[in-house]
Chain A
Amino acid sequence: MLAELLFTVFALLAVVGALGLVLSRHPMNGAINLVMTMISLAGLYALLSAKLIFALQLIVYAGAIMSLILFIIMFLNIKKEDLPDERSRWGYYLGGAVIIAPVGMLMAKAVRRLPGSEATIVGDGFGGVKEVGLVLFREWLLPFEFVSILLLVALVGAVVLAGKRRSAK
């Protein structure tokens, strides 16, 4: 009972945050709305008993990535007149919704036919750090190493791109 109530609250907050991101004009408001979505998604992960992903969502997504985005938005000091002219965006919203809505409805219909989607009880250690770590380092070791190389490449690339001096041209 409590789980359904919490799911409803978190789902509503997530959808409201996502809509606020898409509809708000200034990227700062959008970023704050996206933070709300990410925090409510963390709550949903906790409801799905994914304890490690819950913590990672709060630390990595809502913490690190969003603060990086907010930092860059504030760093560029965007004023009202710097924003692109988006007076015709309502037409784009309407057209995009007309295109996307049938696909979404089709997918929702397919999802509702999924067998065995009732609530089951999982074991005590499901989703904990130790159990996910065992799976990660036993069966996903090679992808894990690839991800570490990807992060290194991204680090070097970001330094090369953002650290370019104007006089070097």
Chain B
Amino acid sequence: MIADYLILSIVLFCIGLLGVISRRNVFTVFMSIELMLNAANLAFVAFARLHESMDGHVLAMMVMAVAAAEAALALAVVILLHKHKSKLDTNVFSLLKG
């Protein structure tokens, strides 16, 4: 029963990874990262249920806080980049290239 939840978590994580490596739209890449965080959360909660301890729930809460911080910062960066280049293509955002 718990194994089903963990397999679902693996499937969601793989779909999120596929989105990160195959898409070029900044928003889709960002939301795929959110999907991967969600999959990790599901694994945490499933393992907490398996071991009947609530540490996994606390870790899931921390992941949510990190995701919220990441969303705030990443969206601010996306707004700035869109203001600069008026594009949403990740290939255009290569400002760190030497």
Contacts and interface: CB of A to CB of B under 8 A. Distances in A.
Interface of A: 7, 11, 14-15, 18-19, 21-22, 24, 27, 30-31, 34, 37-38, 41, 44-45, 48-50, 52-53, 56-57, 60-61, 64-65, 68-69, 72-73, 75-76, 78, 82-86, 89, 92-93, 95-97, 100-101, 103-104, 107-108, 111-112, 114, 116-120, 122, 126-127, 131-132, 135-136, 139-140, 143-144, 147, 150-151, 153-155, 157-158, 161-162, 164, 166
A148 to B, nearest CB: 8
* Majority SS at the chain B contact face: helix
B96 interface: no
Most B CB within 10 A of own CB, among A34, A83, A84, A161: A84
A22 B19 contact: yes
Given A37-B35, A78-B88, A127-B54, 9 more contacts: A27-B88, A64-B68, A82-B86, A84-B89, A89-B24, A104-B10, A108-B10, A114-B6, A151-B69
Contact of B14 (A104, A117, A132, A135): A104
Most A CB within 10 A of own CB, among B58, B83, B92: B58
A37 to B, nearest CB: 7
Interface residues of B, number: 71
Contacts of B48: 48, 50, 127
Contacts, number: 228
A107 B11 CA distance: 10
Interface string B50-73: 101011011011101111111111
